[in-house]
A and B are shown apart, each in its own frame.
Chain A
Amino acid sequence: MDFKEWFCLDGRESFTIDAKIYPADARFYFGRDEIKARLKAQIRRAFVDPGTPKMIIYGSFGSGKTQTLFHLHHYLLNELSGVAFKPHTVHLDLEMQSKSDHADWHLQLMEAVGKDTVSSWVNNLFNQVPNLEQELEGLFRDHNLAESTKNLRGGGDIPFLAWRWLCGYKLTASDLERLQVTRSLGDLGAGDMVKALVGMGHLAERNEEKLVFLMDEAEQFNNVRTGDATESLHNYIRKLSEPSNSSTGFIIAGFSLTIDDMPEMLYRVDVRTRIGENNYVEIPPLPTVNDVQTFLRELLSELVDHKRAEKRIVKEKLQVSLETYPLTADAFDLLSDFASQDPAKSLPRNAIRALNECAISAWDEQKPIVGTDIVNEIAPLIFG
């Protein structure tokens, strides 16, 4: 019998939840009903006004920000109903260095959407409207943007050139001429690039989709050290947050212990007032022992095959209930107690870690259940 069979795990190798490793885990969101309900309600409202979600999620490492982002991704794709458009979600991890500026950010967003996606939107639109050029001019309100986007349907290397232009690469004069545009994107600053992104959002809407970026690792903005680069990034997010942008949404997640710790450009007053204070959502540690218990109970309920567990409990007369299996009731309470002692360490990541370690320890000793002896040995390693 291997580890997963020993603990009656339901189609998984361990008690680890990690949507980055197991994409299906995006459907899980344990022990945070209030935050979950709040986020989902705000997202639903945002599709009405201002037209698309604009949110910032923050918290300490291990608090569940990434899982929150993945879960919202899952929600947008699978559960959201009653909105006019089908969300087209684009998930990316931000990557910033000391001199990264708005152009780097724009490039990451564009490449995350992908040339093929945008090309397919253009092709679909071509099939629907009598005059593609006119339609694109209306969506982008900029001749150069419309022209480049139209060129994604071109032949030869023109589509690739057009994509490079839309991503903000500086092109040669002859390439600009081939595309029939007057300048490179970004020549007029961050606003130029945001216009492209917002235009993409309108293009998505014409295809009955809503473009929403889910960006993780926002603490990367702290790597940017040059003043000009920081200001250009600030301009980019400020313009993306404008009420006039009702087509391209974003949910940005990053490490920050308090709202004041986050990269300054994200909470500067002009950005905060545009995004809205209530759209800055903290993912705190699990605040009380009850919260830890709820988290663990819900996790165990999903990860354990209850039919098999029940059979084992009965067959081997194990002193454990289905609700806390494979921990005894005392071990469950003790682990929850350990987990909530230090608020800074009362994190979902640590709770999952401790559960796995206790289970491995029981497995090493060929014990079918985890008792308080194991929790007393293992929990201090994780929670200090």
Chain B
Amino acid sequence: MTEAALEPRYAELVEHKPVERFLRMFLVSSRRADELILISPIIGTLKGVSVSMERLAARINRDRIRTYVITNEPEHSSHRGAIAILSRSDYTEIRFNASLHAKVYVCRYHDGGFALLGSGNLTATSIEKRIEVGILLHSRGRGADLVRELSEWGTVRLRTLSKLHKRMIPARRA
């Protein structure tokens, strides 16, 4: 018997490139995610980072993952470029919220998932050049409830406060 049985470790502090860590966890996993939530005031094409926006979008399309993106209205070319890449997918919904400051990333599987709550935007600058920190939550013990609550906050409450830019395009019923 171990102390770990008492309180499974569900949260870890990530001091080195937390956003990249989240993206890698999502991409490396062989499991098909049910849902991906990307909440970041600024989003970039992630050029020069090990995980590019193109690669992220390709995975979303391959696995048909319902993806919710909430960000500020794009002002810079990299932000607009990222929105353009994500907009090409039928499985992404994109919303704008001018008041958004939170950075939250959630990956949900049918039996759990993981989430990152921290300071980093979804940009190459944030990943490569900035000192960022985040808390990575796993669906273990109390972490499961936290991941669930973040998902609910992102996919329901925050969405209804944000302006729809691009909706998901489902297959029409025959």
Residues of A that sit less than 8 Å from B by CB? 2-3, 13-14, 16, 18, 20-21, 61-62, 93, 95, 97, 100-101, 103-104, 107-108, 111, 168-169, 186, 219, 255, 338, 356, 360-361, 363-364, 376-381
Between B1, B2, B168, B170, the greatest number of chain A beta carbons within 10 A of the residue's beta carbon is seen for B1
Q: How far is the CA of A132 from the CA of B133 in the complex (A)?
A: 54
B17 contacts A by Cβ under 8 Å: no
Are B6 and A111 in contact, CB atoms less than 8 angstroms apart? yes
Are A104 and B5 in contact, CB atoms less than 8 angstroms apart? yes
Are A95 and B156 in contact, CB atoms less than 8 angstroms apart? no
What's the nearest-Cβ distance from chain B to residue A307, in Å? 22
Q: How far is the CA of A51 from the CA of B159 in the complex (A)?
A: 49
Residues on B with C-beta less than 8 A from A338 are 173
Residues on A with C-beta less than 8 A from B4 are 97
Are A379 and B1 in contact, CB atoms less than 8 angstroms apart? no
Are A21 and B149 in contact, CB atoms less than 8 angstroms apart? yes
Given contacts A93-B141, A95-B140, A376-B172, contact A255 B111 (CB under 8 A): yes
Q: How far is the CA of A379 from the CA of B173 in the complex (A)?
A: 9
Residues on A with C-beta less than 8 A from B21 are none
Are A107 and B145 in contact, CB atoms less than 8 angstroms apart? no
Residues on A with C-beta less than 8 A from B141 are 93, 95
Interface members, chain B 112-167 (any A CB < 8 Å): 140-141, 144-145, 148-149, 152, 156-157, 159-161, 164, 167
Task: Kindly identify which residue among B1, B66, B140, B168 contacts A104, using a CB–CB cutoff of 8 Å.
Answer: B1
Residues on B with C-beta less than 8 A from A219 are 111
Residues on B with C-beta less than 8 A from A186 are 1
Q: How far is the CA of A95 from the CA of B149 in the complex (A)?
A: 19
Across the A-B interface, how many residue pairs have beta carbons closer than 8 Å? 70
27 contacting pairs across A/B (C-beta < 8 A): A2-B161, A3-B161, A14-B157, A14-B160, A16-B156, A18-B152, A20-B145, A21-B145, A61-B110, A62-B110, A95-B8, A95-B141, A97-B4, A104-B2, A107-B6, A219-B111, A356-B156, A360-B156, A363-B160, A364-B164, A376-B172, A376-B173, A377-B170, A380-B171, A380-B172, A381-B66, A381-B168
What's the nearest-Cβ distance from chain A to residue B91, in Å? 9
Q: How far is the CA of A97 from the CA of B9 in the complex (A)?
A: 12
Q: How far is the CA of A339 from the CA of B66 in the complex (A)?
A: 18
Are B145 and A108 in contact, CB atoms less than 8 angstroms apart? no
For B10, the closest partner residue in chain A by CB is A95
Are A364 and B167 in contact, CB atoms less than 8 angstroms apart? yes
Q: How far is the CA of A173 from the CA of B66 in the complex (A)?
A: 57
Are A108 and B156 in contact, CB atoms less than 8 angstroms apart? no
Are A380 and B1 in contact, CB atoms less than 8 angstroms apart? no
Are A108 and B6 in contact, CB atoms less than 8 angstroms apart? yes
For A97, the closest partner residue in chain B by CB is B4
A-B pairs with the 5 shortest C-beta distances? A103-B1, A3-B160, A104-B5, A380-B170, A381-B170
Given A16-B152, A111-B6, A381-B170, 13 extra CB contacts under 8 A? A3-B160, A21-B145, A95-B5, A95-B141, A104-B2, A104-B5, A107-B5, A356-B156, A361-B167, A363-B160, A377-B170, A380-B170, A380-B172
Residues on B with C-beta less than 8 A from A360 are 156, 159-160
What's the nearest-Cβ distance from chain A to residue B167, in Å? 7
Residues on B with C-beta less than 8 A from A104 are 1-2, 5
For B140, the closest partner residue in chain A by CB is A95
Residues on B with C-beta less than 8 A from A18 are 148, 152
Residues on A with C-beta less than 8 A from B145 are 20-21
Given contacts A93-B141, A95-B140, A95-B141, contact A169 B1 (CB under 8 A): yes
For B162, the closest partner residue in chain A by CB is A364
Are A21 and B5 in contact, CB atoms less than 8 angstroms apart? no
For B95, the closest partner residue in chain A by CB is A364
Task: Kindly identify which residue among B2, B144, B157, B171 contacts A13, using a CB–CB cutoff of 8 Å.
Answer: B157
Q: How far is the CA of A3 from the CA of B140 in the complex (A)?
A: 32
For A334, the closest partner residue in chain B by CB is B173
Residues on B with C-beta less than 8 A from A61 are 110-111
Are B152 and A21 in contact, CB atoms less than 8 angstroms apart? yes
For A103, the closest partner residue in chain B by CB is B1
What's the nearest-Cβ distance from chain A to residue B38, in Å? 17
